[in-house]
Structures are given as C-alpha cells and as structure tokens.
A and B are shown apart, each in its own frame.
Chain A
C-alpha cells in the first residue's frame, strides 16, 4: 500500500517537473529538446505505471543520459549541417528584426533637454509615481507625463510646453508650484491637484542622496521610454549621454506597410524602413541590407540563420581550398589509424603473453605498473612528451640519448615530416598499449591449456603454436575491439593537436595544412580558423561526412572479418 503511494507520488512529481520543463523549453523555442523530453516523459510513465514496462525501469537512467548526451547532440549536428549558422549569422530572423527595431539613433544637429524628476510621496516615502520637468535648449519648460507601457518592455510619455506655469496633457492638468522664498525654484508639480515633490536632477548635487532610489526604481523604465512631442519629435535617454540629459533621437528602423513588387505583382507588404534615409531595407542572402539612396550601394546590417539545404555540403565538395590537400590528409589519416592499431596491439599482445606466463614472479606488480600510461590523463603525458622528450635542443632524447650517449646530430622532431610521424606513433603506442594488453590478457586466459599440451606432444614449436593456436583464437573476440580502436584513432584529435598541432606544414599548399594533420584536426582548422570566424554549419557538415567515412570503413571491416557472426555463434 505504502509502496503504491510512493510510486504514484513519484510519478506525479516527475510528471509535474517534466511537464514544467517541457513548457519552458517550448516557450524558449527549443522545440527539438522539448519533443525529446516529451518522449522521455511518456517512456518514464510507461515504465513506472504499466506492469509490462517493469523491466524498462532498470534502463531508465541509461536511456535518459543517452537521450541528453548522445541523441540530442547528434540531432543538433544534423540540423546545423543544413543551416548557415556561422559568425555574422547568429540570430534567428525574428531576433534580427527585433534588434533592428530596438536601435536608437541620435538625430543630426541634436537638441538637448535637461530634466528633473518630481515624485509623489506617500507616508513621507517616494513612490513609483513620477513626472519629469524638462528644460529645452532655449530655456523653455516642458512637462513629461508619467511613462506608460506601450509594447513589450517599452514605454511612452508625452511632453508639452508649459504656458503660464500650467499645461494639460491627455486630460490631466499639470501646474508648477514655485518656492515662496525663491520663485526661480520649482519645488513641486501639481498633477490634478496632487503635489509631486522635487526629487532628483543630475545637475543638482543636493539631490544625489536620491540617486539610488532613482536608479533602482525609475532607471529601467526611463531607459526604455520614448518621449513624444508632435512638433519637436522624440527624445530618448541614449547610450551616449546616459541619464545626464535627454536628446532628440529616433528609432533607426520602423515597420511600415508599403507596395512591393513581388513576382511581377505589386503587393502590400510589411517591410523594415530606415527612418534616416527613408529607404526600405532589402532582404536577401539571409541578411538585411541598407541601401544608400544616392549611390545604390548596399551594406549588410545584420544576418540571420536558417535552413539552407545542401549549401554546406556542396561548398565542401566544390571548395578547392578544402579538397586540394584532402587526398594526402586522407591517406595519412588512414595510415595513422591503421598503424596505431598495429603498433599498440603488437606491444600489448607481446606484454600480455609475457605476463601470462604463470612461472613469472611479481606478475601482478608488473601488470599494475604497465597500466599506468593508461591511467595518466592523455593531455598531461602528451605535453610531457612534447616538451620533455622531443624538444629539439632541450628534450631528453636529443640531448642525452643522441647527444651525450650516441654522439649523433639532433633530430628536428617536429620540423621534419618523417620524424614527426615517428614521434606521434611512439606517443600513441605508449598511450594505447595498456588497453590492448588488458584485453589480450583476458582473451589469453580463455584459451584452454590442453590445446598447447596436445600441440607440444605433436612436436609443435612455441612459435608455431602461437601462430596456429593463440593468434587465431585471439582474433575472434578481439577483432571487433581492434576495429573500434581503428575508428577511435581515425578521430584521435587530442594526440595530433597536442603533440604536433599538425606540423610540419606542407610547403606550397593552397591552404594551411600540416603533414601530420588528420581529417578531424585539418577540418577543425578550416571550420574554426577560416576567413569568416566560426562556421558551425560547415563544421557540422564535415562531421557528418567523417561519420559516413568511418561508418563505411567499419561496416566493410566487420563484414570482411566476419566478427559479428563469430561472436553470435
């Protein structure tokens, strides 16, 4: 009974939280993630409520992590590969329009207005009710009404000139109350008979104690307020003059409906208009463009991202810059992945066979020591190798091994393509052999001893038994792991990037590429070191391409080695 109650309460809780997060995600426009969470919700409910779904309960945590960390990023990569998401195109179209509509530009020959704030006090405390007294460039006084919200986050206020100390705006009467001692001082403004007291002015030091209240209660309203007067125009607090004074300014772009020629027909359409030139804003190539009315020259104002179809893929295949060193990079990537597997497996297998000898003492100690390279984080040992071992003048290899012991000239490890590759294989073998050793040890132990006994009775040498018994029997369980290791090294960005950085460079190539660059490090430089900043769309397209290459190679490998069938038997 209690168990049931706990179950239902937890189901309700999970549903409530997931439901809430789904709403949030949809409000934020993250539809993809929202749909994934909906699927999760359905699945969790099924697993918890339906008795048939009971076994799935044990899979839930794994599934959730799989969804969030694997499925979603893959989906996202595919989506971006078909978009022009890159530097200069970081907004959605709606966001881009909103940015343009928010732009305020100071008028040519601006007029400045000083201001003071008058506040309604209640119980001797200032309230959020206030009006402004403005002083124009010619010394005339104006009243600006309390800002009213107009559209999302924006406010408007009307201001009118005072005549004989009073004015009426939108049916509200305002009149100034002057100090009896000094009539030049306006101590309050009467709004429909209620007195608003002098509170703050940026030019009056004595009001500065009120600055805190002004900033925290009026600041965010005033910074988004448009002050309107039909004759003078509009005033703003701008980012040029801050809250020091108001200045004549206007929104740089407005929406307006005008006739546009579309497909040979004239239609009424809402377009952005530049209020300074009066020209409508053009829209093409995923961007908005201003037109200079006298020269007709177009300048890009802002770009936005969206679906562009196969553009990234076609630019990938037709781009000379990308394709020209592609073949040499591709071949080296292949060599790199294949030889890495061969070397690590060879070293790992030899050590495993040595350690598998039961007559050896301290086996466990050796085994533990040999796993250490695997336990140290790669990026630490790689940098140790680069700086400590392979440095041309100061590295141990050149200075001590070659210089002092063998009296050989130093090797320019990263300046010469051959030696850079040697260094890479040395480091990658060091990093990778413990894994191969561990899996080989496991597989060796599963080979029954009587096979060797029978072989030795038949007069087979150890070398012969290795090639006819050990190796074939090892390959059955290990082949899929070797293929996985190949795929891993195909994309082994860390070692390349941290050890050689792709160096040495290929002389005279059309695009910067290194002789030890593999596909992933080469394309990383292209997508993120290219002319236009970061090109996420192109990078995503490249990753999909690399994925396709690896998937094909692995599939062929699996097929040829027949690994899956063997394992299933």
Chain B
C-alpha cells in the first residue's frame, strides 16, 4: 500500500512538470474560462482549414500571467496567451513576448488608438487587442431622462436625488484608484508624463498637480455631501443600482449583464468630464515559442477578421477593439454606444513596470482624503513622494 502511494506520488510530480509545454507544429493557448470555449471552437475551425492543431488550456485569469512567467522563462509555456494590456510591461521587459508586426497600416487604422497604445511598450506592439474595458455613467431611465454633461451638473443632480436611503450616485471609489482615475485625470492629473517619442516617462508624475487635487477634492465633496455613503464598496454600489436605490452608477461594461438581469431600464453615457483608464484584452505571443509563424497565421488570417472578432465579442462582451466590429455589435446592443463614446477621452492604463509602485500609494491617498485625515493636496503630495522614492530604488 505504502509503496503504491510512493509510486503514485512520484508519477504525479513528474507528469505535472511536462503537461503544459509547447510542441512544434501544434498551437497551445492559455485562456480563462470566458475565452476558452470560443477559442476551442475557433481552433477546431482553424485546424480544419490550416491543418495546425490548436489546443486550448483553461486557467484562472490571474494564474495565466504568473504561470506564464515561470513556464516561459524555463523555455516552455504556451505559444499564445490571452490577457490584459497591463501584463505587457513586465512580460516584455523580461523578453517573454514577441512583438506583433504583422498588422499593415490599414489594418492598424481599424483599431481604437487607445487599444493599440495600451498594448505598446518601448515603441513596439506586443498584443493583438480584441476587447476594451472602460468606465462610464450608467443611469436609470426611470429617474434620469438626460444624463449630466458636466461634473457640476452630476453633483447637483445626484445631490437633489439623494435622500433617506436613495442615492443619486453609486460610485465604489473608496480604496480603488482605478475608479478615482476618471475625475483625477479628467481635471488634469496624470500618472506618468510622456517622452517626445510617445513612451511613458516614469520620472514625470502628475498625480499631485493642480488638476489631480481638484479631481480628488471633487470626489471628497461627493462623500461630504452624503451622495456616496461611507464604506460603499463595489458590491454595495452594484446592489444599490440594480435594486433601484441609486439613480446613477459609475461602472464598466462588465456590470451590464447584472444590470440587465435586474430589469433596470438603463442608459449609458460617458462620465461627465471624466478621463478613465482603458484596460485592453488581447492575444500575446511567447517569444520562445517554436511556432511563432504558425501563431501569427492563426492571429492574422483567422482571429483578426470581422467575423471572428464578432464571435469573440458574443462570448466575451467587452467593447470591441475594432471599430467595424463595435459598429456591428451596436445593432444588437445599443448600450455599447455610450461606452464607445467614452473611449474618445481615455488614457491607457500605464503598462511600464513602475506602475506597480503607484497603486498602493495612490490607494492610500484616496482613503486618507475621503476619511478626512488629510487634505487632498497633502495626501496626493505624500503619494507622489512615495512613488518617486520607490521608483528611484
């Protein structure tokens, strides 16, 4: 009995080591559970025409990045991963990604510029984008006929509607810089400035400039006026809106299914005066893959077509990165229009590795200001000092 146990332990440990390696002549893709089924289907269709088998391994979204780093560094790992643009900085700095060069200038024009910018690092494109996440203003049409167009209008509208358990605006900004970015950047703040060549300059941090302070002051004023209840986190914000207890909500397109299921008669408009981050999802190619050209055939001839991109949108309804695809999708999902409009004033989430030292400091600044422990100016100045200190290490 014991011997069998020993035996099975060793066999198990050996098989675990060899399962996920790429093999020449076969494409291996790592994707999460939303994307894996549609990619399996597309892979089968691709194999029928091109004769290259495509194997899709389903993993947790967060695991893909960490496992890819370890596997690819050992010269193994998949040929293609499906992931987010903010992985690009770390993965490209490690030399784990192959630049994408197969798109012609006409093909590049089909994509939303922010999507391409988001996947670029050091002047090179490292991912084929397909879907975009962006924050916008959801409004309940039963309470709001015309969505506000300026931050002041949003404030007064929300304040008038807030009373006794009903809130004008659901906005889970506490502890979440991502949600604070629309106003901080909309009023003139920025995370990193840009060099003349368009790349990000980690030594120019604009999170404590006059605009950023004004933006954070605006957010704090929403709390002080009681428009946003203290301690409102993401789930409470969504619950308030879906149960009809909030007239408006700032959230991304991923919240749409929940809002639809709750039967809310909703519309979507850009955040008044807001400049949110965009997060972009796309395909990336392993630089050590023995099947680089085959991977490119799959992506350029097969994935980057209107039909396939539309199918991916149906499976994973983010805002399509290609204009022709979003125009097609808007016909069945009119709410996409508000998000596509919101895309025009956005900034890609910085993908340089220095961004990692921004989040904590920024989160602390928001919390200190909202809790009233420090002024916006003081909290943001400290945050910028912390970021500079971390980057200079």
Min CB gap B195→A, angstroms: 14
Q: Which residues of B contact A153 (CB under 8 A)?
A: 290
- Return the contact of B357 from the options A17, A21, A68, A530 (Cβ within 8 A): A530
Structural contact, B49 and A239, CB atoms closer than 8 A = no
Structural contact, A511 and B390, CB atoms closer than 8 A = yes
Nearest A residue to B202 via CB reads A531
Structural contact, B25 and A219, CB atoms closer than 8 A = yes
Contacts known (A60-B2, A529-B356); A220 close to B25, Cβ less than 8 A:
yes
Structural contact, B10 and A17, CB atoms closer than 8 A = yes
Per the 8 Å Cβ criterion, residues 357-393 of B in contact with A are 357, 359-361, 363-365, 367-368, 370-371, 373-374, 378-379, 382-383, 385-386, 389-393
Structural contact, A240 and B69, CB atoms closer than 8 A = no
Min CB gap A244→B, angstroms: 9
Give the interface segment out of B180-188, B227-235, B252-260: B227-235
A195 within 8 A of B: no
Per the 8 Å Cβ criterion, residues 211-267 of A in contact with B are 211-216, 219-220, 222-224, 237-243
A101 within 8 A of B: no
A18 within 8 A of B: yes
- Give Cα distance in the complex from A530 to B293, angstroms: 36
Structural contact, A415 and B367, CB atoms closer than 8 A = yes
Give the interface segment out of A139-147, A275-283, A333-341, A387-395: A387-395
Give the interface segment out of B95-103, B129-137, B139-147, B335-343: B95-103
Structural contact, A239 and B292, CB atoms closer than 8 A = yes
Q: Which residues of B contact A410 (CB under 8 A)?
A: 230
- Give Cα distance in the complex from A216 to B235, angstroms: 49
Nearest B residue to A324 via CB reads B389
A442 within 8 A of B: no
B117 within 8 A of A: no
Q: Scan A350-375; emit 1 where CB is below 8 A from any B CB, else 0.
A: 00000000000000000000000000
Number of B positions contacting A (CB below 8 A):
77
B19 within 8 A of A: no
B44 within 8 A of A: no
Structural contact, B95 and A415, CB atoms closer than 8 A = no
- Give Cα distance in the complex from A65 to B13, angstroms: 11
Structural contact, B373 and A509, CB atoms closer than 8 A = no
Structural contact, A17 and B371, CB atoms closer than 8 A = no
Per the 8 Å Cβ criterion, residues 87-114 of B in contact with A are 89-90, 93-96, 98-99, 101-102
Nearest B residue to A153 via CB reads B290
Contacts known (A391-B236, A504-B368, A504-B371); A212 close to B93, Cβ less than 8 A:
no
A64 within 8 A of B: yes
B263 within 8 A of A: no
A13 within 8 A of B: yes
Structural contact, B231 and A504, CB atoms closer than 8 A = no
- Return the contact of A530 from the options B291, B300, B393 (Cβ within 8 A): B393
Min CB gap B363→A, angstroms: 8
B50 within 8 A of A: yes
Q: Which residues of A contact B386 (CB under 8 A)?
A: 509-512
Structural contact, B2 and A529, CB atoms closer than 8 A = no
Structural contact, A504 and B2, CB atoms closer than 8 A = no
Q: Which residues of B contact A222 (CB under 8 A)?
A: 293
A507 within 8 A of B: yes
Per the 8 Å Cβ criterion, residues 84-102 of A in contact with B are 87-88, 90-91, 95-96, 99
A487 within 8 A of B: no
- Give Cα distance in the complex from A17 to B11, angstroms: 8
Q: Scan A133-166; emit 1 where CB is below 8 A from any B CB, else 0.
A: 0000000000000000000010000000000000
A412 within 8 A of B: yes
A44 within 8 A of B: yes
A309 within 8 A of B: no
A10 within 8 A of B: yes
- Give Cα distance in the complex from A91 to B287, angstroms: 13
Nearest B residue to A415 via CB reads B371
Structural contact, B93 and A216, CB atoms closer than 8 A = no
Nearest B residue to A241 via CB reads B102
Beyond A215-B294, A391-B233, A531-B356, 18 additional contacts (C-beta under 8 Å) are: A17-B7, A21-B10, A64-B6, A90-B96, A91-B94, A153-B290, A211-B51, A216-B25, A216-B51, A220-B294, A223-B294, A392-B230, A412-B230, A415-B367, A504-B368, A507-B373, A512-B361, A532-B356
Minimum-distance CB pairs A-B, first 8: A212-B51, A392-B231, A505-B364, A512-B360, A415-B371, A393-B229, A240-B101, A392-B230
5 contacts between A and B (CB under 8 A): A17-B10, A238-B293, A393-B232, A504-B367, A504-B368
